[in-house]
Amino acid sequence: MYLAAVVCVLAFSRATLALDNGLMRTPPMGWLAWERYRCDIDCENDPKNCISENLFRDMADRLAEDGWRELGYVYINIDDCWSSHQRDKNGQLQADPKRFPGGIPKLARYLHDRGLKLGIYGDMGTLTCGGYPGTPMDKIDIDAKTFAAWEVDMLKYDGCYSNATEQEQGYPLMSKALNATGRPIAYSCSWPAYQGGLPPKVNYTQLGEICNLWRNYGDIQDSWSSVLTISDWFFENQDVLQPAAGPGRWNDPDMLVIGDFGLSLDQSRSQMALWAIMAAPLFMSNDLRTLDSRARAILQNKAAISINQDPMGVQGRRLLKEKSGIDVFWRPLSGNTSALVFFSRRDDMPYRYQTSLATLKYTSGSYQIYDVFAERVMPTLKASTDFVVSVNPTGVVMWYVSSPAGEKHWTPTSNALPNHFL
């Protein structure tokens, strides 16, 4: 199948470079506060939405009770503005006592009792981006030990109020300090987002040795233009980014904003499909308490999740960017299967795109197709046969494609998903 052998060799040859903590062998999934709730600390006037112990307990309840945990959404991640403005008398970070009266350890126990994991936010600089105490180099060791003592499961380490030299030294030092605690703590680095450049001037080999995931680009916003800008940047730089990803080390295009205010139904499907093709972390940033059924169906789509979580861990690529406004993306999956996405940049009307699997460099043979968002098995398709997909404006058609006939692949039934999705 197209490029599969080359990509597999690349994935396995670089697997030994990943951070040696055994974590995040598939892209992490969960919920993250920042895009939806930012730095809302006004608990007096906005108690349901402020950054507080209650907010994270509410979201943990939803993950545990509404079917999210069983699908893999297990992280509840605190972002900026959780701490007091001052360290304690021993120089340790401390949670704001009014908004987190039980402290972080109590919140961690609440999550762990529900089969969930807790992520927390820190910053390489003197201050966090929101103006709270940062973790500069002289505080790295004490803060790593503090997070471990609190039974935190993940650290997102930002880079505001630090310079390039401090980041070059500090990001590896935090990795070492986290590992030295003896507690498995996944490590998310924002280092590349502060380095910039096109293509990005980043040592991705080093990143794969010290970080489980890393932010490459600026913060996502609740808008289609933001989603499109970020995904375009990733695929325009795919020759640099794609080889860096694999089990235990992931490019992070930032949060899913599905279920908020800025995306249409088709655009929501597009973000889910593109993030699945990119092998991106799936961190929702929305209000799970009020999420509508259409957004829930997209975020809980088993086929899309399974494609994202494929254990081979190879990031997908854009194959074609057509003048018609249709882009075609491809990702190799385990068992000699693959995923295809047909995405429309158009904003006028549905577009009927004609191609064949042979044109997309699939080998000869017959393939079974599962339409991910229509949730149906399609007729067997020969590689040489032309087909037409109708793609809505700013929408997607996403397919799971079996291995060729005669090779090991799933047998479709009228009421079942491929075993790969169960």
Q: Report, as residue numbers or ranges, the catalytic residues.
A: 158, 219
Place of tokens 């090991």: 408
Nearest to 30 by CA among 80, 78, 82, 72: 72
Plot region of 50 (φ>0 → left; ψ -120 to 50 → alpha; else → beta) = beta
